[in-house]
Amino acid sequence: MLTANLKLADKYDYLSEKFIKAYQFLRTQELDALPTGIIEIEGDVIYANVQEYTTMPWEECKFEAHDRYFDIQYVVSGKEMFGYVKRESLKEAVPYDSKNDLLFFEEPENSGKIFLEAGDFAVVSPEDAHKPRCVAGESCKVKKIVLKIKV
């Protein structure tokens, strides 16, 4: 799933060589066998962050965004609700951490949710805020690969 405002339609090429390499990584690796942590694909331009966690209640998760990277959030196993909202009108909850390229926001009045299960992914641009790790039904263990693609 990819969603964006028409103003951004020509800003990013979601089928550029960087994205194709990221998708190829997902197609050619034994994803279940990957250890947690960072796996370099193309230096700091494309890398994978392999994560394992237990989903949490919606209220305990936070909306976040990144300035320097796109996320392709791919669920290897498990399931989760994934929040999504444009970040332009959100209020910062925690200031931007430039080292980790991470910014947290206060909970907005309105936002969307998508259901992700094994084999699904969401592409998140720097203009988007997203809320990963949320319970879908009952809490469960999730293995996810967050591919980071430099803007």
- Please report the DSSP string for 66-79 in residue order: -SSEEEEEEEEESE
Give 103-122 pLDDT, tens digit per residue.
Answer: 999 999 999 999 999 999 99
CB 62 within 8 A of CB 104: yes
Contacts of 44 (CB under 8 A, 6+ apart): 150
Give the tokens for residue 50. Answer: 């392999």
Give 22-75 pLDDT, tens digit per residue.
Answer: 999 999 999 999 999 999 999 999 999 999 999 999 999 999 999 999 999 999
Give 111-150 pLDDT, tens digit per residue.
Answer: 999 999 999 999 999 999 999 999 999 999 999 999 999 9
